[in-house]
Amino acid sequence: MEVDFPIAVVSKHAVREKSIRNGNPSTLHLWWARRPLAACRAILLGLLLPDPLDPLCPPEFKVMARELLRKVQGQVGPRDEDLRSAFLKFIGDFANWDLSADQTFVEVSRGLVKAVHPGETPLVVDPFAGGGSIPLEALRLGCEAFASDLNPVACLILKVMLEIIPRRGPALIEELRRAGEEVKAAADKELAGFYPADPDGAKPVAYLWARTVRCESPNCGAEIPLVRSFWLCNKRDRKWALRYTVHDSGSRLRGIKFEVFKPVSDHEVPAGTIRQARASCPYCSTVLPLERIRAQLRGQNGGAEVIFDERGNRIGGARLLAVALVKADRFGRHYRLASATDYKAVYESKQTLAKFVGSKLPNGLNEVPDESFHDIRPSPNARGLSAVTRYGISRFSQLYFVRQLLSLLTICETIRRRSRADYSNNENEVNGVETLLALTLSRVADYCSAQSRWDSTQERNVNSFGRQALPMVWDFAELVPLQDSVGSWNSMLGGILRVIARVTQINAVAGVQCADASEHPLPDECTNIWFTDPPYYDSVPYADLSDFFYVWLKRILPKEPLLQNRFEPESPLTPKLRECVWNRAYKVDGKEKDPKFFENSMASAFAEGRRLVRSDGVGCVVFAHKTTEGWEALLSGLIQAGWVVAASWPIATEQPQRLIARDSAALATSVHLICRPRGEDAPVGDWSIVLRDLPRRVADWMERLQSEGIRGADLVFACIGPALEIYSRYSKVVDAVEREIPLGGNPEATEPYKRGYLAYVWEVVGRAALEQVLGKAESTAGNGAAGALE
């Protein structure tokens, strides 16, 4: 079905799916840039089903397809065009989340796949499997699937979703629920005293803290709590906020006193003390620039620690602004100021935590995750990917407030104790539950760090990874992990239970292995479909981000083979050197991982894909990055590896309001490049013919995409497919004097053999985009791609 695809319908369902959380496999555990299931399911059907208008489409398949489609569409017309329309409608309908578990639709899809492959079940291979969307949908459609990834955290997610859950089936739900309740009850006994209830019985659900710095004005020295907003609750029918007054008890004791109040208008709520990374002193109005804030917080190891004197009195560090509570007889959250009891509980937790420091686990790891952060230096196109390291946070334990760390360590030890007790009965059975408990704690850690903030519009914690980075948070919310609220143990366990209920309906198991995509473990010509979503150039440092979870998972599951870093045995963290990203923080053979490293790594991975796919097989590569450099590196790898780009389907997969979309190099659509293996007997192409065909193919495709609602940069990059089809079908392209025209080159050069094909592609695509917007007459005044890509 490479000739047509229901772009608009699938896009609508893919975007909607992003907002569906209940039972969505994406909520099993966080993984970055995960593909919507709707898009993967639809694309896989498009790859698996032949076009009824193709002369090679078997007649017997058309007969069976009509019978199957009648179950969900009624009678299909007699013409091949009618059958094609029915296929496209089925693909679009089945992309709907509400129908993804519908047994009739599942049976029809599997029947269609079986009708195409009556002898041998097709195998789908994904070497950058990440969160597992592609292999999961392959199983849903009745295919076999093999999923691999370099990253141990990704591999553990894959193992749970593609092996443990389908193998154990629905019985796993009750077993995990019971185990989760046991862990919570045991941990609650040890931790309850550190989260004391109020005298009236109100229980805290979150403590709202602010990091602090000192005013550096010579005549001031007041403590400045770094607060973005003083709103506690900002709902239409509920308003609570903080306001403050300044007090003066000497130059080193100047500061502010808080009051919880119910504002009548927004103007009553004071502005935050920090804005655009500059802090304003509430006492003297002196402004501290970012450099001075960083310097002071570096001296506090990030500033999430409360500093006490020997008698347990707070003398600096993080300051408690307010406490959010729930009352048994009253609706909603309630707020109060900090009390001496609150600080006493923190002081006592600090004494208790000291018992964990230096304590070793049987595998040699310290109980406290003291692994060091790498000094990350993101590429020029990446934004703020390592902000916390600039504020003195050098170890993973410093990402947490002291009571958060104590809680996570206590739950971690509780899971290990339970597992040791049950291993004596049936180790294999327990391992699945143990792994799911580990993922539950890992999910809690996402909400239970000093990078989690308070959302006053929803009165809840927001997870640490609001975007594909771990930036500094000035004021943070300390979740009470064993209370019932978003991000708590019960909340995260409940989410996993709902995923299990949804995934067990698929009732099929995939193969999972930790592997380098450039050295794939499967044999030659073993797969029908090679479908993958590779890393996006420099936009997501997957390995660096995943270390946040890895340090906890390997402490809970010390025997799990997938969590062993076999590629870099000496490293205590996830593999970095082989990861296929542009990341200047790491060197391979003495050279930085630069754009050339990315291009070479992609070429190796695509060459492996070409090796795995049968001669009549098909490949699909997903990409969604808004820089020509990223696309050129990807395309160079594809062409070098021997693939022919046959189609290009842009599917809207991202919500425009997501954080990474704001001022970043991200597309609203993910472009799916459909590829075929290039034959060994591919002819040599004539440059003049390639250049002549390019504008027509691009213009035709752009008109089609606009009819599907594709606009802007998404429209530009989605035209790469037909442009590459013209070039990639040849073994090479040469000019009149037999000089080869490379894919990339120097765009400033005038000779085609120096300039490279992609320079002409960007120019033609840009000009075609301008013509669509301005009309052909006006567009001639511009210079093509430069304006279109701004």
Q: What CA–CA distance (Å, rounded) separates 564 from 155?
A: 11
Q: What is the mean pLDDT of the chain?
A: 89
What confidence score (pLDDT) does residue 666 get?
Answer: 53
Encoded amino acid at 189, one letter:
K
Mean pLDDT of 259-283: 95
Give 343: exposed, middle or buried? Use CB within 10 Å, 0-12, 13-18, 19+: middle
Contact 140, 401 (CB under 8 A): no
In a domain, residue 325? The reply is no
- pLDDT higher than threshold 90 for residue 147: yes
Q: What is the pLDDT of residues 720-729, one digit of tens each?
A: 888 888 999 9
Q: Band the pLDDT of 786: cuts 50, 70, 90.
A: very low
**In a domain? residue 341:** no
Q: What is the pTM of this model?
A: 0.92
By CB neighbour count within 10 A (0-12 exposed, 13-18 middle, 19+ buried), where does 787 fall? middle
Catalogue the E-assigned strands of 628-708. 643-652, 666-677, 684-686
Give tens-digit pLDDT for 451-500: 999 999 999 999 999 878 888 999 999 999 999 999 999 999 999 999 99
CATH of the domain at 670: 3.40.50.150
Cα-trace Rg, the chain:
29
Q: Mean pLDDT, to the nearest integer, of 92-120? A: 95
**pLDDT at 126 exceeding the cut of 90:** yes
Question: With contact defined as beta carbons under 8 Å apart, do 151 and 553 qualify?
Answer: no
Q: Residues 653-686: pLDDT tens digits?
A: 765 544 344 444 456 788 899 999 998 899 999 9
Among the listed residues 163, 148, 160, 155, the one whose alpha carbon sits nearest the alpha carbon of residue 515? 148
Check residue 659 and give its pLDDT. Answer: 39
> What is the mean pLDDT of the segment spanning 214-241?
94
What share of the chain in percent tops pLDDT 90?
A: 70
Cα–Cα distance, 765 to 699 (Å, whole number)? 8
Does pLDDT of 384 surpass 50? no
d(CA 77, CA 54): 17
pLDDT > 70 fraction of the chain, expressed in percent and rounded: 92
Would 736 be classed as within a structural domain?
no
Residue ranges of E strands in 248-386: 255-261, 274-275, 278-280, 287-288, 306-308, 314-317, 319-327, 330-336
Which band of pLDDT confidence, cut at 50, 70 and 90, is reported for residue 766?
confident
Does the pLDDT at position 770 exceed 70?
Answer: yes
pLDDT for 187-223, tens place per residue?
Answer: 999 999 999 999 999 999 999 999 999 999 998 899 9
pLDDT tens sequence across 609-640: 999 999 999 999 998 776 778 888 888 889 98
pLDDT-based confidence at 717, cuts 50/70/90?
confident
What's the whole-number mean pLDDT along residues 31-51? 94
Q: How far apart are CA 465 and CA 34, in angstroms?
A: 14
| pLDDT confidence tier of residue 411, bands split at 50, 70 and 90 | very high
pLDDT at 421: 63
Residue 12 pLDDT exceeds 60: yes
Instruction: Judge whether residue 790 has pLDDT over 80.
Output: no
Better-scored residue on pLDDT, 253 or 236: 236
**Does pLDDT of 422 surpass 80?**
no
Domain holding 101, by residue range, is 7-169+504-644+657-679
Beta 453-455 vs 460-462: how paired, if at all?
antiparallel
In a domain, 691, yes or no: no
> Under a CB-based contact definition with an 8 Å cutoff, are residues 194 and 188 in contact?
no
Q: Buried (b) or exposed (e) across 255-276, using 16+ Cβ within 10 A?
A: bbebebbebeeeeebeebbbee
Please check whether residue 769 lies inside any domain of the structure: no
Q: What's residue 2's pLDDT?
A: 56
Say which amino acid occupies 302.
Answer: G
The answer to whether residues 435 and 557 touch, using CB atoms and an 8 Å cutoff, is yes
The rounded distance, in Å, linking the Cα atoms of 218 and 436 is 55
* pLDDT at 702 > cutoff 90: no
* Adjacency order of strands within the sheet including 319-327: 330-336, 319-327, 203-210, 475-479
Residue 697 covered by a domain: no
| From 74-88, 143-157, 371-385, 436-450, the region with the lowest mean pLDDT | 371-385
Overall average pLDDT of the 742-764 stretch: 91
Amino acid 21: pLDDT: 87
First vs last C-alpha separation in the chain: 34
Residue 783 has pLDDT above 60, yes or no: no
Quick one: which of 126, 117, 111, 114 has its CA closest to 161? 126
Structure tokens belonging to residue 8: 């608009």
* Count of structural domains within the chain: 1
Q: What is the pLDDT of residue 664?
A: 43
According to the model, what pLDDT value does residue 705 have? 80
Confidence of residue 429 (pLDDT cuts 50, 70, 90): very low
| Whether 405 contacts 308, CB under 8 Å | no
